[in-house]
Copies of this chain bind each other. A is one copy, B any other.
Amino acid sequence: MTLLNDPIYGFIHINAPIIFKLLEHPFFQRLRRITQMGLSSLVYPGARHSRFEHALGCLHLMQKTIGILREKGVSINNNEALAMQIAILLHDIGHGPFSHAMENSLVKGVHHESLSLQFMSYLNKEFDGQLTLAISIFQNQYQRKFMHQLVSGQIDLDRMDYLKRDSFYTAATEGNINSERIITMFNVIDDELVIEEKGMHSVEKFLIARRLMYWQVYLHKTSLVGELLLERLLIHVRKLYKEGVELNTPKSLTFFLNHDTGAIDSEELLNRFALLDDYDIISSLKEWQHHSDFVLKDLSSRILNRDLLKIHIKNSPFTEPEILEKKALLSSWKLNSEQLDNYVFTGSISNQAYVPDTKTIKILKKSGQVSSLQEQSELFIRNSFSNIESKFYLCFAKPSL
């Protein structure tokens, strides 16, 4: 038995040798070097936790869930139990550094879900097929649907851990859900995950906590503008690279400047991706802050020193005159139009707290009937909680420093 220390759950127990070997694999150790919340530590200094910790937390919640379901008489054999643990442990292994910014710039069109699957397939070969059932669960191809629903659903263990963990490290207690209570209310009917009726208030709380975390933490103005700047910076970097400008990037990153990631089916690409982490990006910013290119130098320095653009957010789109007005204020900077677009730009963000049509959260009533959350919860009956909420932002530099 191996014990891992976790600030949230105390000890995390590792019993199965295969799990231990997966943890030791460089593909997994790499998650130690990728922060869960990207640039959020610019706002929440404590939010430096890694995807490694989150994956372990998910594993822990899965172990608890298996225990609770078995106590309730749900039969889960040892192979299934192991596969459920592996599936949740590896569900996010495809994440790279600063996923959002990267997926819109250097590794365009590559989504972490599909990469996770490729990593798992690769590891399955290395581990002689021991991951086959886990992969089947991950892809929702296994007939016992609840196993997939625990890995990926509207109230899955992934969300349960990250809300709790992100809340813990940011000190935004709004997101501190009672994962123990929700797990204890889990049950399985016809191989589908249901939540016992007396847990409904905790589910409501979970959905509301998630919504609040989105608007208050994940889409916090400062980390949003940080992410947007990083994305623009990386797009700019690629352009400079194509122009032949010397960039002094680590080899791991250079590869992605040099290649298009449209088709990422090759093993080489996977192995290259596995070398990327936060350190490649941040150490590049550190080099670039001394570069001669104005935008490269300036944006790098702004991110490193938390000297970001201003941002306004409102419920309706910004108009062209509003944008032009901000650009006009920067006329003394003598930027060309392309450069200027990195200092005044607009866009939108949105969030949907609950998606009622697909992946409905099912409630097991005391009568034994199964219903859906939107039919049972007064909070949901009465409002359109499932509406998509959208907001619009305008980022802009202030002329004087």
Contacts and interface: CB of A to CB of B under 8 A. Distances in A.
Interface in A152-176: 168-174, 176
Contact of A389 (B15, B44, B378): B378
Chain B CB within 10 Å — which of A7, A169, A180, A384 has the most?
A: A7
Contacts of A15: 71
Task: Classify chain A: how many residues form its interface, as a range.
Answer: 35 or more
A299 to B, nearest CB: 15
A19 to B, nearest CB: 14
Chain B CB within 10 Å — which of A45, A212, A378 has the most?
A: A45
Contact of A306 (B29, B209, B385): B29
Contacts of A5: 43-46, 170-172
Chain B CB within 10 Å — which of A49, A283, A389 has the most?
A: A283
A275 interface: yes
A201 to B, nearest CB: 5
Chain B CB within 10 Å — which of A48, A71, A277, A305 has the most?
A: A48
A330 interface: no
A279 interface: yes
Contact of A178 (B174, B181, B184, B277): B174
A383 interface: yes
Interface in A252-294: 252, 275, 277, 279-280, 282-283, 286-287, 290
Nearest to A216: B201
A386 B382 CA distance: 11
Interface in A56-78: 56, 71-72
Contact of A174 (B7, B171, B205, B378): B205
Chain B CB within 10 Å — which of A5, A290, A379, A385 has the most?
A: A5
Contacts of A384: 382-383
Contacts of A49: 46, 48
A356 B1 CA distance: 31
Contact of A50 (B45, B169, B174, B215): B45
B52 A306 contact: no
A23 B6 CA distance: 30
A140 interface: no
Contacts of A48: 48-50
A287 B208 contact: no
Interface string A1-42: 101111110110101000000001010010011000000010
A216 B378 CA distance: 13
A398 to B, nearest CB: 14
A339 interface: no
Nearest to A53: B45
B174 A201 contact: yes
Interface in A212-231: 212, 215-216
Given A1-B72, A173-B176, A173-B177, 11 more contacts: A7-B168, A10-B171, A24-B307, A33-B282, A48-B48, A174-B178, A204-B212, A251-B287, A283-B283, A379-B383, A383-B384
B286 A279 contact: yes
A324 interface: no
